[in-house]
Structure 1
Amino acid sequence: MHSEGSLLFRDNIPCDPKANVLRTAQSEKLPVPASLKNICFLNHQHAPNGRFVRASKYRHVYGQHFKRELCYENLKPTLSAFDANIIKANGKFLSLNSNGIGAFTIIPINETGKCPDKVPMFRGHTGGSVLDTDFNPFDDYKLASSGEDGKIMLWEIPHDYSYIHNDPENIVDVKPVGTLVGHTRKVGHVKYNPVAANVLASSSFDYSVKIWDLEQKKCVVTLKHKDLVTSFSWNYNGTKIATASRDKKLRVWDVRSGELLSEGPGHAGAKSTRVVWLGNTERIATTGFDRFSERQLGVWKADKLEEGSIGGLYSLDASSGVLMPFFDLSTNLLFIAGKGDGNVRYYEFENDELFEISEFQSTSPQRGFAVAPKRSVNVKENEIDRAYKLTNDNSIEPISFIVPRRAEMFQDDIFPDAPSAVPALTAAEYFGGKTVNGPLLLSMADIYEGVEPTSVKESSPQPTAAEPKKEEPKPTPVAATSATAPNPDPVPVIKSEPVKEEPRPALTVGQEKGVDNMLKGKSVNALLEKVNNLSDDDTQEVDGSDNEWEQERPKSASIDSQTVKKAESKPVATSSPDAATPVQVEPKTPVNEPIVKEVLSTPSTKPSTASATATTTPKSVASKIAGATGGFKQHVEKLQTLVDKLEAIIEKLVESDIEKDERLKALEDKIDALSKK
């Protein structure tokens, strides 16, 4: 027996009581209680029989601790109870909300080990703690912070900055380079725009989200809410923001116009809801609680929040810690770390579903969590993501998420292009209305080679959902001189009248072509001679008299004599009357030998008067076409009538041949019986 998530498994079969109820209901095709629909298996990743395994390049991703000497110890994190991640990472530095008034610390990634008692601090906020920080995605030495004093401060990290290697008697704190004032209460979260330089968003206890132009140091747009905003997230190209509020509502806003695009109910629980945008899609993921304080995970359509979550909300467990979601744009992996948990779950997002991959397990619970940008991973070790978790013993522990492979070369399938440090827009262009597909991308192959990326490329447009194909109307049968001949001359195409459905002919299209060629061969005389021997009435249907040709037809356009001569020189073949394809003149094809052999299985030498009429039929048809004064459409229809009659003759010939064989066999049986007597 082993555990997986909140379930127990024995021999790959869930033995949790709730799981057994679900498994029994599904096996007996009974209605599944609503409370159990999503409690056991997340989108069919683990089927009730425990045997289904979904194919994925990241199915075997595992997390690995760094060694103790590569961790960061003896830290002094904040004691504030505000719901924040506490730490942030940008690949070169770590930011930690510190215990004290208006201060946080910056730790260079390469300065590991136990930190000294006295370290330089980033001080500037007054009257409370720092609640959140965020690094500028386009400049590793710039960041912003927010605090309980209602201010947002901008910082620059000195290029000679060190966290450990300082004179303890001469510690110099870092001061802010700018301040943004506009919120009237505590500022809980700050986050930079992913595509435009110097564009920042902030949420506050004054129930608003503000969008700032850092070049002008002013607020451009304010998004008003009805309650405290607990989380927000930019979309892929930075034009929209998704917010989660304490009024249990999810909202999506157009950032530059301030328009509310979509609104809908979120998680029913009273605790904090987190939201994250799922890459270059119109989907968001949320983590929250239900009314019974069970932790939930959901996926939503960003443009149709009122429809509810896609596939329903999925219950994870009954722990009390807030779940912190992080989405990797390059691999479509969603990492979820719970406060107070020792494990980190990760899922793969595909086709509007989250598929559980695995989880990283640890005995040390986490207070905070951060994921570094993709450009900071160790590509040579197949590290697809690097995370940092703040533990309860006041240390930060790096975690590598690795795809286990032994290849000695760059793995381009697990390392697609990733967001670069080059902005796609300036703040003026962004607020002026210019829009791009997403952030500029760099090649991970350059990082594998150990060189600075020399070029970037634009993001691809957002993929659109495939619309259902509409049924196209069936084409009306048309008459044409030739559609398959090489270099055909242009001939007017005339639409024919709808033809009533008739029984399908006994012969196929391939057999029809064989009959056309057979009529021109020498064997047709012997064939019709056999018909004359079997039944004199069969040959009467071959007679193409003028009365049969002169049927009343709708008038149609005429065609010149040159076109008629071209049509006369080409054999004609038609498909079955109920076919929806156009009637076309086919080129010469080989005789269908099996059909000819079957019909001519019994030779005959008796001459027939009908053979002359039948063999001259093609010539008589051609002469009628050449001399006719009516429309071309009428001649084609007459040809079709004649061919239909010939098909009927061939069918009767086959039946007669079978009947004759039966008579011969019966006669042989009688002779054998008499000879035995």
Structure 2
Amino acid sequence: MKKLQFGWMFKVWQIPDHSLIRPLSDPIVVLEGHSKRVGIVSWHPTARNILLTAGSDNLIIIWNVGTGEPLISMDDHPDLIYSVSWNRNGSLFCTTCKDRRLRVCDPRKREVVAERLAPHEGIRPMRAIFIRDGNIFTTGFTRMSQRELGLWDPTNFEEPIALLELDTSNGVLLPYYDADANMVYLCGKGDSSVRYFEVTEEPPYVHYLSTFSSKEPQRGMGFMPKRGVDVTKCEIARLYKLLDKKCEPITMTVPRKSDLFQDDLYPDTAGPDPAMEPEEWLDGRDEDPILISMREGYLPPKSRELKVAKKNVLDRPTTRRSMSTLDTNSLPPQLLERLLEEIQNLKATVLSQEKRIGDLENKLSQYTNGTA
């Protein structure tokens, strides 16, 4: 992002699918609209090119990146916005704010449709994410500065579905959600551990599963989409831990002895293709993500290993065909002519190399017999 005379702009870059073949020097689009620094960016989960940004100017802008135009602007937040999270189909998003309110917003109506004051009684920053069933998972602090997590029904904010105290650490808990497994990973700034929970429909609704611990504290954390995990190793999640001088991958795996594809671990997951165009979403259409199977990209470990096995040459199938038996009628004349020319050149090269090898063998035999 770069500061202008009257505001801030930020740029969107496109990274090639396979690899970088040259330095990226030009963004695909430059967006201008915020008067202060932008701290939050979030892509719409199902509509093409829809991007939400929130800045220190307490303003939320929704853009059509394909045209570089702002579509919706909302100024309902009187203070700094801590977090923004879309629901599964992108019809709503929830926010947490420095004014200690949790809000649910309908962007196309440009209004706040539900809000809760102080879902966590502490004054320190909160975070909130929509989960698969439409409920909202929050992290925050109690009045005594204990870290706390909560589960809320946005249609009834009076009482939480679940409220659980964790510990007395000072780091803000950052939640990362896996919609396929209905699991939440909690990573605290300055912590050296990652705790994960499962959200269910039965009490106590939020179930502690386990903790991953390491030696160095994290400065931040990133979460990779499910379609990037290695299903051959029963990997269900991969996080990227930001340290002072490096980024370290953390893999979460389920121990299984079988090499077969594990259907229960990998239900169909959200794919990369959008379910609708920007204009359709803006007109009021809602679509769930387009799901893809994880099985399609699966290769058993044995088939990926290179193994050399000596076989009896007599066992080879006799399916070779000579050039004269090929169906040359299906080839374009120019291509056929070029192929025949290349074959002639290859034959001439082979003959010249055979002659050269014969000359070298004669000279070698003369040296060996002492005649030279």
Instruction: Give the shorter-chain TM-score range.
Output: 0.7 to 0.9
SS in 1 for 2:171: coil
Identity over aligned pairs, percent: 37
CA displacement at 1:160 relative to structure 2? 7.5
Q: Is the 2:7–2:34 Cα contact (8 Å) retained in structure 1? A: no
Give the one of 21, 32, 35 matched to 1:184: 35
Matching of residue 375 in structure 1 with residue 207 in structure 2: no
| Cα 1:250–1:159 shift into 2, 3 Å | closer
Counterpart for residue 319 of structure 1 = 169
Distance 2:67 2:109 in 1: 18
Distance 2:166 2:9 in 1: 37
Matching of residue 402 in structure 1 with residue 253 in structure 2: yes
Give the one of 110, 114, 120 matched to 1:262: 114
CA displacement at 1:290 relative to structure 2? 2.0
Counterpart for residue 350 of structure 2 = none
SS in 2 for 1:317: coil
Counterpart for residue 415 of structure 1 = 266
Distance 1:159 1:379 in 2: 21
Matching of residue 150 in structure 1 with residue 8 in structure 2: yes
| Cα 1:423–1:275 shift into 2, 3 Å | same
Give the AA of the match of 2:139. Answer: T
1:187-228 CA-partner distances (Å, limit 9, x unpaired): 110000000010011111121222112233222222221211
Distance 2:199 2:167 in 1: 20
Give the one of 281, 291, 295 matched to 1:441: 291
| Cα 1:161–1:377 shift into 2, 3 Å | closer
Distance 1:270 1:430 in 2: 36
Q: Write out aligned runs for 1:268-283 (5 A).
A: 268-279=121-132, 281-283=133-135
Distance 2:264 2:182 in 1: 13
Q: Is the 1:282–1:303 Cα contact (8 Å) retained in structure 2? A: no
Matching of residue 251 in structure 1 with residue 103 in structure 2: yes
Q: Write out aligned runs for 1:649-660 (5 A).
A: none
Q: Is the 2:88–2:134 Cα contact (8 Å) retained in structure 1? A: no
Give the AA of the match of 2:156. Answer: K
CA displacement at 1:173 relative to structure 2? 5.3
Matching of residue 336 in structure 1 with residue 336 in structure 2: no
| Cα 1:327–1:158 shift into 2, 3 Å | closer
Distance 2:234 2:106 in 1: 38
Counterpart for residue 286 of structure 1 = 138
Q: Write out aligned runs for 1:529-540 (5 A).
A: none
Give the AA of the match of 1:370. Answer: G
Q: Is the 1:261–1:303 Cα contact (8 Å) retained in structure 2? A: no
1:562-606 CA-partner distances (Å, limit 9, x unpaired): xxxxxxxxxxxxxxxxxxxxxxxxxxxxxxxxxxxxxxxxxxxxx
Distance 1:261 1:182 in 2: 25
Q: Write out aligned runs for 1:448-597 (5 A).
A: 448-449=298-299
Give the AA of the match of 1:258. Answer: R
Q: Is the 2:48–2:278 Cα contact (8 Å) retained in structure 1? A: yes
1:501-537 CA-partner distances (Å, limit 9, x unpaired): xxxxxxxxxxxxxxxxxxxxxxxxxxxxxxxxxxxxx
Distance 2:88 2:130 in 1: 7
Counterpart for residue 309 of structure 2 = none
Q: Is the 1:276–1:286 Cα contact (8 Å) retained in structure 2? A: yes
1:419-458 CA-partner distances (Å, limit 9, x unpaired): 001110111111121112x1000011112248xxxxxxxx
Counterpart for residue 149 of structure 2 = 297
1:259-287 CA-partner distances (Å, limit 9, x unpaired): 211111222222221111112x1201111
SS in 1 for 2:209: strand
Identify, as 1 or 2, the structure richer in strand.
2
Matching of residue 356 in structure 1 with residue 214 in structure 2: no
Counterpart for residue 195 of structure 1 = 46
1:375-422 CA-partner distances (Å, limit 9, x unpaired): 110001100111110123x11111110011111211101110000011
Distance 2:41 2:234 in 1: 32
Matching of residue 388 in structure 1 with residue 240 in structure 2: yes
SS in 1 for 2:298: helix
Give the AA of the match of 1:275. Answer: A
Length-normalised TM-score, structure 1: 0.42
Q: Write out aligned runs for 1:63-74 (5 A).
A: none
SS in 1 for 2:297: helix
Q: Is the 1:263–1:304 Cα contact (8 Å) retained in structure 2? A: no
Q: Is the 2:29–2:65 Cα contact (8 Å) retained in structure 1? A: no
| Cα 1:314–1:237 shift into 2, 3 Å | same
| Cα 1:160–1:356 shift into 2, 3 Å | closer
Matching of residue 204 in structure 1 with residue 55 in structure 2: yes
When the two structures are aligned, how many residues end up with a matched partner?
A: 295
1:467-490 CA-partner distances (Å, limit 9, x unpaired): xxxxxxxxxxxxxxxxxxxxxxxx
Counterpart for residue 175 of structure 1 = 26
1:89-131 CA-partner distances (Å, limit 9, x unpaired): xxxxxxxxxxxxx5xxxxxxxxxxxxxxxxxxxxxx347xxxx
Give the AA of the match of 1:411. Answer: Q
Distance 1:251 1:213 in 2: 23
SS in 1 for 2:255: coil
| Cα 1:368–1:194 shift into 2, 3 Å | same
Q: Is the 2:7–2:33 Cα contact (8 Å) retained in structure 1? A: no
Q: Is the 2:54–2:61 Cα contact (8 Å) retained in structure 1? A: yes
| Cα 1:159–1:333 shift into 2, 3 Å | closer
Distance 1:159 1:354 in 2: 37
Q: Is the 2:7–2:32 Cα contact (8 Å) retained in structure 1? A: no
Counterpart for residue 431 of structure 1 = 282
Length-normalised TM-score, structure 2: 0.75
CA displacement at 1:314 relative to structure 2? 1.6
- Decide which moves more: 294-303 or 264-273: 264-273
| Cα 1:199–1:303 shift into 2, 3 Å | same
SS in 2 for 1:195: coil
Distance 1:303 1:239 in 2: 15
Instruction: Say what the alpha-carbon RMSD is for the aligned residues.
Output: 2.0
Give the AA of the match of 1:409. Answer: L
SS in 2 for 1:182: strand
Give the AA of the match of 1:198. Answer: N
Distance 1:204 1:382 in 2: 39
1:162-197 CA-partner distances (Å, limit 9, x unpaired): 4xx98xxxxx55232211112221111000000001
Counterpart for residue 237 of structure 1 = 89
Higher gyration radius (CA): 1
Q: Is the 2:226–2:236 Cα contact (8 Å) retained in structure 1? A: yes
| Cα 1:329–1:160 shift into 2, 3 Å | closer
